[in-house]
Amino acid sequence: MSQTYHYLVRRLHSFAGIFPVGIFLLMHLFINSFALRGEAAYNRAVGFVNNIPGLVYLEILLIGVPIAFHALYGLWVTYVTKTSIFQYYYFRNWMFYLQRLTAVITLIFVVWHVWVLRIVRVFTGTEMTFLTVQAWLANPLYLTFYIIGLLAAVYHFSNGLWSFLVTWGITIGPESQRLTLYVCTVIFILLGIAGINSVYAFIR
């Protein structure tokens, strides 16, 4: 039945944004932060991830497929929206718009990021080390795009988390939605600082 299908797909899209895509973002930022402890610590953390058994399968099934689904269906969701931010200057309307704007920025960033730092590696056979990332981030253009992409992804996750709670009927009333707004704002700030801090470790 097409009706159930539409409902299911849209809900799966919301679910996939947090599990596993959001969780993966948190793990990724966590692993990145090992750079703060120096080159050796970062290389050990990356080495640990690279030695996970069946890594390629996990990457495809738990990360690649859900991200591709979330992104492609999300593009459709973005397409069927008509922007009205200059007609309705309401806070949530702007957040709604930014959610879609950051979606597109994040998608472009992730495709590029995965291509240069993951897929190209398969062809060239180069190891992923602190120095690889350092050389890459030495380009000011890449660095700027990386920070924009990082903040877009973190915003999309934080606001998406707020939206997820409404979409699944968990935060129903205005008080609970206000509280989760504060919590998600703090999450956005903390993840943003943590992410940029890790980047800083590579360029200092």
Partner 1 sequence: MSEILVKIKRQDGPKSKSYWEEFKVPLKTNMNVISILMEIQKNPVNAKGQQTVPVVWDCNCLEEVCGACTMVINGVPRQACAALVKDLKQPIVLRPLTKFPVVRDLMVDRNVMFENLKKIQGWIPIDGTYDLGPGPRIAPARRDEAYPIATCMTCGCCMEACPNVNSRTTYIGPAAIAQAKLFNTHPTGAMNKEERLDAVAGDGGIVDCGNAQNCERVCPKLIPLVSIIAEMNRETVFRGFTRWLKGKPQKAAFDEPIG
Task: Tell which positions 1-30 bind partner 1, by CB under 8 A.
Answer: 2-4, 6-8, 10-11
How many residues are given for the chain?
Answer: 204
Q: Does 144 bind partner 1 (CB under 8 A)?
A: no
**Residue from 51, 54, 87, 125 binding partner 1 (CB under 8 A):** 87
3-state helix, strand and coil shares in percent for the chain, rounded to the nearest 5: 85, 0, 15
Measured distance CA(144)–CA(140) in Å, rounded: 6
Q: Does 181 bind partner 1 (CB under 8 A)?
A: no
DSSP state letter for 87: T
**Residue from 77, 108, 147, 148 binding partner 1 (CB under 8 A):** 77
Measured distance CA(88)–CA(78) in Å, rounded: 18
Largest CA distance in the chain: 57
**Residue from 19, 30, 48, 88 binding partner 1 (CB under 8 A):** 88
Q: Does 204 bind partner 1 (CB under 8 A)?
A: no
- Shortest Cβ 74–partner 1 spacing (Å): 11
Closest CA to 198 of 164, 154, 155: 154
Rounded (10°) CA dihedral 42, 56, 52, 18: 80
Nearer to partner 1, 85 or 117 (CB): 85
Q: Does 167 bind partner 1 (CB under 8 A)?
A: yes
Contacting positions for partner 1 (CB under 8 A) = 2-4, 6-8, 10-11, 77, 79-84, 87-88, 90, 92-93, 96-97, 163, 166-174, 177
